[in-house]
Amino acid sequence: MQVEDMEEDAPPTPAVLEGTLSSSILDLDQTEGHNHNFGATYGREGREGNLDEGDIGGSNGGGTGVGEDEEDRPDKEGEGMARKRRAEIWQDAEMDALVRAFREVHMKLTSAAGNGKKVKQVFKSANDKWQEVRTLLLASGVDRQPKEIERKWSNLSTAFKQIADWNNNKKMGRPSYWDLDESLKKEKTKAKELPATFRMQLFDAMAEFMGDRHGPRSRSPAQAPAPSLLPAPGLPRPPPAPGVVDVPLPVEKLANLIDAANHKRRRVVILAPGSFNPPTYMHLRMFELGRDALIAEGYHVLGGYMSPVNDLYQKKGLAPAEHRIRMCELAVADSPFIMVDSWEAKQNTFQRTLTVMARIDTVVNFNNCAADEKVKVMLLCGCDFLESFTTPGVWIPDQVRTLLQEYGIVCVNQDSKDARRLVFEHEILYNNRILVVDEVIQNSISATAIRRNLSRGLSVKYLTPDPVINHIKMNHLYTNIPLRNDE
């Protein structure tokens, strides 16, 4: 399997509340063993961030991210070593997304509690809970680490509690937090009794499910169903995060595959990111091989997605996204389970594989597609794609670990490559279960070979579906394109 078949010979596209005013949330978090200190937040190096150090709830476009510490995060993909720097300030849109995400998790926990389930039946650990919040945030275009998310939520919930307590303590003549003059607010902030600033819109959003001591309690799912970050088609859709183009995930083939006969099998969705420039029969064959292997492992494969890379991938000879999306749609038209997710290709910025996978995870698992059990999302790739995980400077290490540990890989072993040896020789791959699939029927069709033939006026019949060939001819794609020296 050549890298160009999936990503064109280049780096792959990189898919708590103690003390809050809702007793149900408090009980759930105490069950998990959390014990937050609301007077301060703690950084990795032991610094203490007081609540009066900045704008906790955000205003005028953003907040300061109280108590946030330096953490090792690369500025961009492609850097071999992380730079130690202060965590970025949380913007208003990020905090809004955090509240929506935590509400999703909270409603999931309260629903489970109402059905007699314990917290550990939903999340094995507190870290799993915050990882789930992170997955929801990624789907909204917010990339923050679990510890960073936990600290920010602790700050927000503390500030929320202080404001609610102040407003509900109805002493004669005392104004609400929102009507305080600056001198009194400054005095209370200095005494660590109130936050310096907090957006009313953010407070109202938190109050919808956290309630307050003297007002509405946390609502049950029956009283106030939690809106999904990315609702299923036909439901009202919230505005996408700034800079994120809202593209529905096709789910029509998923619905056709959910049946009672496979109810006891672990359900899975597979995603293949790639250039698909153009899509080939080999790409389609990979989905069939991956599905067969997963079924043999006891899974029920609900469906598969092709995710064409964004135009900002900037590969020479890369056809415009609109054509690659359409060619993929034509290629899978007759497939009973393969669909095309055009979200990545339609974004205004380059998207990493982890972000794409997290979005699919969110849609499938938080929009009533998954019923009670979580649907697993796995990456489908070739050996060269898998090998890129071990190449310094290509991937962000934390994202590789998340892809391997939280999602999983199905790797198709082809040509002269030996995926099993690759896994054995590299610790990061060996320590994580990777399902290697052998193609017993030799198939070396590649997108590079198709482009070469097209540029030379040669036939590509039987290398890609006829509707794809017709689209290429009608739109004069891949004619007089620059070829690499080895082409």
DSSP readout, 118-177? -GGGT-SSHHHHHHHHHHHHHHTT----HHHHHHHHHHHHHHHHHHHHHHHS--TTPPPG
Highest mean pLDDT among 135-149, 228-242, 330-344: 330-344
Total domains in the chain come to: 2
Q: What are phi and psi of 266, to 5 degrees?
A: -70, 125
For residues 382 and 9, the answer to whether their CB atoms sit within 8 Å is: no
Same domain for 331 and 399? yes
Pairing, β 376-382 against β 338-340? unpaired
Highest mean pLDDT among 76-90, 147-161, 282-296, 409-423: 282-296
Same domain for 288 and 193? no
Q: What is the pTM (predicted TM-score) of this model?
A: 0.57
Same domain for 204 and 311? no
For residues 345 and 308, the answer to whether their CB atoms sit within 8 Å is: yes
Same domain for 202 and 347? no
Q: What is the pLDDT of residues 32-77, one digit of tens each?
A: 333 333 233 322 223 223 333 334 455 433 333 333 333 333 334 4
Q: What is the pLDDT of residues 464-481, one digit of tens each?
A: 999 999 999 999 999 876
In this structure, of 154-163, 205-214, 235-244, 472-481, the range with the lowest mean pLDDT score is: 235-244
Same domain for 254 and 366? yes
Same domain for 247 and 153? no
Based on DSSP, count helices (H) and strands (E) in the chain, helices before strands: 18, 10
Structure tokens at 172: 């004669």
For residue 432, what is the domain's CATH number? 3.40.50.620
Question: Positive or negative, the Cα torsion across 325, 327, 329, 335?
Answer: negative
Is 17 within the bounds of a domain? no
Same domain for 427 and 306? yes
Is 435 within the bounds of a domain? yes
* Number of Cβ within a 10 Å radius of residue 10: 15
Domain range for 166: 23-210
Same domain for 204 and 246? no
Last residue of a domain, one of 210, 230, 258: 210
Same domain for 27 and 173? yes
Q: Residues 111-137: what's their mean pLDDT?
A: 74
Same domain for 270 and 180? no
Q: Between 438 and 342, whose confidence is greater?
A: 342
Last residue of a domain, one of 163, 191, 210: 210
Q: CB-based burial of residue 314 (10 Å sphere; 0-12 exposed, 13-18 middle, 19+ buried)?
A: exposed
Is 322 within the bounds of a domain? yes
Is 334 within the bounds of a domain? yes
Is 399 within the bounds of a domain? yes
Dihedral in degrees, nearest 10, Cα atoms 315, 318, 321, 322: 160
Q: Place 89 in a pLDDT band, splitting at 50, 70 and 90.
A: confident
Is 226 within the bounds of a domain? no
Last residue of a domain, one of 157, 191, 210: 210
Tell me the residue ranges of DSSP E strands in 19-72: 40-42, 48-50, 70-72
Is 145 within the bounds of a domain? yes
In the chain, the amino acid numbered 112 is A
Is 410 within the bounds of a domain? yes
Same domain for 193 and 264? no
Q: What are phi and psi of 132, to 5 degrees?
A: -70, -40
